[in-house]
């Protein structure tokens, strides 16, 4: 089992981001923003007719590179009608700059940008994340991350640029962790990384090993871990700002690798992506490491239930019944429906802790992916106020969610002859909803939202700030939930 690689290279390769009034001499690539109509910056030396003749219409994401004989290149970047999809604007500029690492972009051409920090935030995220790659196991680097980004703008842009830098770092960290193959990132290794990095970012870390997990009756985590040669770990993260205004628990699914267990998955491309089945835990971890730098005033506890799911002679059998810490019994109909089984333990812990609300995030069901595709995560909630806070955070982070119903009549599909519930319904039922109903049992009446990020966990192409591979989805939306959190009435 190798642990020699660095699973979090993005933390060492952090970009310097600043807001100034003039472009510095070191800049290698200067972005000039041009809309689909209106004035064209005179610094370009081109008018709109000339741009049109070159095929440049000013649509969002369109670019035109003008390389001089010496000095920085100019990249004309389309912004459409002005303030839509600024992450794609930043991403288009960064991609058109190739492997150049010192970039500058004048924001003053954007209408209203001077007073709106969220503009700089979105542009910075687009620039930095579109140039991300996972370099650790490749002998030749496929690209170069941006090292310096200078924005020309006002003081108001500075706060947004800094927030964008921190949130891009969080997303890159989540991408690093999800992209790291299984043999390099076991539950134990993840817990070591948490212990190493947590205190550096103002987060206390407690790790619970198998003996403690038995004592705590973490029945789901232990049942799913039963077939594995690797031990399970429960990682508890605590962010406790002075004079906190409310308390929130974040629960992440941490399946370091999901083979399906005895309900073994077929050997196909989807199975080969299952190192990403800890993307929920990675998002919680990365979001929590950003809270101190973002000045978050909510008290946040993270619960990461980490294990792999393997078939062997000691694996949990189908038809087995497990008994949870709160007394609930569950019959295992299918060991590939393992995420909800593992997360139930931590939802019980969060409920017992007495927090104001719980938000969980998981690569939970193919059903959610089939319903909403790879751009949108499914949202479920037992409380409209917390659902609205997740939706608002999603608007701010640019990570889309769509609320689906927690339709209680479907609960009977997981009635069991021998236990209180089965862990899933027979094939053909709406599994995203049924999984949510299963999870909702364990939070009781605590305000709770569940984000099923199975679709957006993986990106197929370089689109907007996405690059192919694990997307790091969710780190930003969780950070925004914590930043904007108000205790909902239960
Ligand atoms: Mn599974
Ligand atoms: Mn899974």
For residue 489, is it within any domain? Answer: no
- Residue 393 CA to ligand 2 center (angstroms) comes to 25
Domain final residue pick, 175, 195, 222? 175
Whole-number Å distance between alpha carbons of 367 and 429: 9
One domain, residues 239 and 121: no
For residue 218, is it within any domain? Answer: yes
One domain, residues 170 and 187: no
CA-based torsion, 226, 227, 230, 236: positive or negative:
negative
Neighbours of ion ligand 2 (CB under 5 A): 255, 258, 277, 339
One domain, residues 118 and 239: no
Whole-number Å distance between alpha carbons of 105 and 452: 36
For residue 2, is it within any domain? Answer: no
pLDDT tens, residue order, the chain (490 aa): 455 788 888 888 889 999 998 899 999 999 999 999 888 988 888 899 999 999 999 999 999 999 988 899 999 999 998 778 999 999 999 999 999 999 999 988 777 666 688 999 999 999 999 999 998 999 998 889 999 999 998 888 999 999 999 999 999 999 999 999 999 999 999 999 999 999 999 999 999 999 999 999 999 999 999 999 999 999 999 999 999 989 999 999 999 999 999 999 999 998 999 999 999 999 999 999 999 999 999 999 999 999 999 999 999 999 999 999 999 999 999 999 999 999 999 999 999 999 999 999 999 999 999 999 999 999 999 999 999 999 999 999 999 999 999 999 999 999 999 999 999 999 889 999 999 999 999 999 999 999 999 999 999 999 999 999 999 999 999 999 999 999 998 6
* Cβ contacts of 98 within 8 Å, gap of 6 or more: none
Residue-range definition of the domain harbouring residue 134: 9-175
Whole-number Å distance between alpha carbons of 133 and 175: 9
For residue 3, is it within any domain? Answer: no
For residue 4, is it within any domain? Answer: no
Which ligand does the CA of 276 lie closest to?
2
CATH code of the domain covering residue 298: 3.40.630.10
One domain, residues 317 and 464: yes
- Residue 306 CA to ligand 2 center (angstroms) comes to 11
Q: How many residues does the chain have?
A: 490
Which ligand does the CA of 362 lie closest to?
2
One domain, residues 370 and 422: yes
* Cβ contacts of 200 within 8 Å, gap of 6 or more: none
One domain, residues 143 and 223: no
Helix (H, G, I), strand (E, B), or coil: what is residue 96?
A: helix
Domain final residue pick, 175, 202, 231? 175
What φ, ψ does residue 341 adopt, rounded to 5°? -65, -45
One domain, residues 164 and 207: no
Taking the CA atoms of residue 180, residue 182, residue 188 and residue 189 in that order, the dihedral angle to the nearest 10 degrees is: -30
For residue 490, is it within any domain? Answer: no
Can you spell out the DSSP letters for 350-390?
A: HHHHT-SEEEEEE---HHHHHHHTTTEEEEEES-HHHHHHH
* Cβ contacts of 479 within 8 Å, gap of 6 or more: 167, 170, 287, 290, 291, 294, 296, 397
Which ligand does the CA of 363 lie closest to?
2
User: 0.85 cut: is pTM over it?
Assistant: yes
For residue 138, is it within any domain? Answer: yes
- Residue 342 CA to ligand 1 center (angstroms) comes to 11
In this structure, are residues 197 and 237 in contact, taking their beta carbons and an 8 Å threshold?
Answer: no
One domain, residues 101 and 170: yes
One domain, residues 105 and 217: no
Whole-number Å distance between alpha carbons of 44 and 227: 63
CATH code of the domain covering residue 170: 3.40.220.10
- Residue 470 CA to ligand 2 center (angstroms) comes to 15
Domain final residue pick, 175, 196, 211? 175
Neighbours of ion ligand 1 (CB under 5 A): 258, 336, 338
- Residue 457 CA to ligand 2 center (angstroms) comes to 12
Which ligand does the CA of 261 lie closest to?
1
**For position 114, what pLDDT does the model report?**
60
Q: What is the helix (H) or strand (E) element at residue 48, kind and residue range?
A: helix 48-53
Question: In the chain, how many domains are there?
Answer: 2
One domain, residues 236 and 381: yes
For residue 284, is it within any domain? Answer: yes
Strands 357-362 and 321-323, sheet pairing: unpaired
One domain, residues 264 and 167: no
- Residue 421 CA to ligand 2 center (angstroms) comes to 19
One domain, residues 16 and 114: yes
Task: Report the catalytic residues.
Answer: 265, 340
* Cβ contacts of 130 within 8 Å, gap of 6 or more: 90, 91, 92, 94, 95, 462, 464, 465, 466, 467
Q: What is the helix (H) or strand (E) element at residue 477, kind and residue range?
A: helix 475-483
């Amino acid at each position: 089992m190798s642990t020699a690689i660095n699973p979090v290279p993005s933390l060492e390769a952090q970009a310097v981001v600043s807001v100034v009034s003039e472009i510095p001499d070191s800049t290698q690539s200067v972005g000039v923003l041009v809309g689909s109509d209106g004035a064209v910056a005179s610094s370009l030396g081109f008018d709109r007719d000339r741009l049109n003749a070159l095929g440049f219409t000013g649509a969002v994401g369109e670019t035109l590179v003008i390389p001089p004989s010496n000095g920085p290149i100019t990249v004309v970047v389309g912004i459409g009608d002005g303030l839509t999809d600024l992450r794609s604007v930043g991403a288009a500029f960064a991609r058109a700059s190739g492997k150049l690492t010192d970039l500058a972009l004048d924001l003053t051409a954007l209408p209203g940008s001077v007073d709106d920090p969220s503009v700089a935030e979105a542009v910075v995220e687009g620039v930095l994340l579109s140039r991300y790659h996972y370099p650790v196991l490749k002998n030749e680097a496929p690209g170069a991350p941006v090292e310096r980004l200078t924005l020309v703008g006002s003081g108001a842009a500075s706060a947004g640029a800094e927030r964008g830098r921190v949130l891009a770092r969080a997303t890159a960290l989540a991408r690093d962790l999800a992209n790291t193959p299984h043999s390099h990132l076991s539950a134990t290794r993840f817990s070591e990384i948490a212990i190493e990095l947590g205190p550096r970012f103002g987060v206390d870390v407690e790790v619970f090993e198998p003996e403690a997990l038995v004592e705590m009756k973490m029945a789901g985590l232990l049942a799913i871990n039963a077939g594995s040669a690797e031990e399970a770990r429960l990682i508890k993260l605590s962010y406790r700002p002075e004079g906190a205004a409310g308390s929130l628990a974040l629960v992440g699914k941490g399946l370091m690798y999901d083979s399906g267990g005895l309900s073994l998955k077929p050997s196909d491309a989807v199975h080969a992506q299952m190192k990403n089945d800890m993307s929920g835990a990675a998002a919680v971890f990365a979001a929590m490491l950003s809270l101190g730098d973002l000045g978050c005033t909510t008290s946040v506890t993270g619960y990461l239930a980490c294990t792999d799911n393997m078939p062997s002679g000691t694996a949990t059998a189908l038809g087995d019944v497990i008994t949870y810490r709160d007394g609930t019994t569950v019959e295992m109909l299918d060991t590939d429906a393992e995420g909800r089984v593992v997360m139930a333990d931590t939802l019980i812990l969060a409920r017992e802790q007495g927090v104001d609300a719980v938000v969980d995030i998981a690569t939970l069901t193919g059903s959610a992916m089939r319903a909403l595709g790879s751009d949108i995560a499914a949202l479920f909630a037992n409380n409209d106020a917390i659902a609205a806070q997740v939706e608002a955070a999603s608007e701010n982070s640019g990570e889309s969610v769509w609320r689906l119903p927690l339709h209680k009549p479907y609960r009977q599909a997981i009635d069991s002859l021998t236990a209180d519930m089965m862990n899933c319904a027979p094939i053909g039922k709406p599994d995203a909803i049924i999984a949510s109903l299963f999870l909702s049992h364990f939070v009781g009446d605590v305000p709770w939202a569940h984000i099923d990020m199975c679709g957006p966990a993986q990106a197929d192409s370089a689109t907007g700030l996405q690059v192919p591979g694990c997307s790091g989805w969710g780190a930003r939306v969780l950070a925004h939930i914590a930043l904007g959190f108000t205790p909902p009435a239960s």
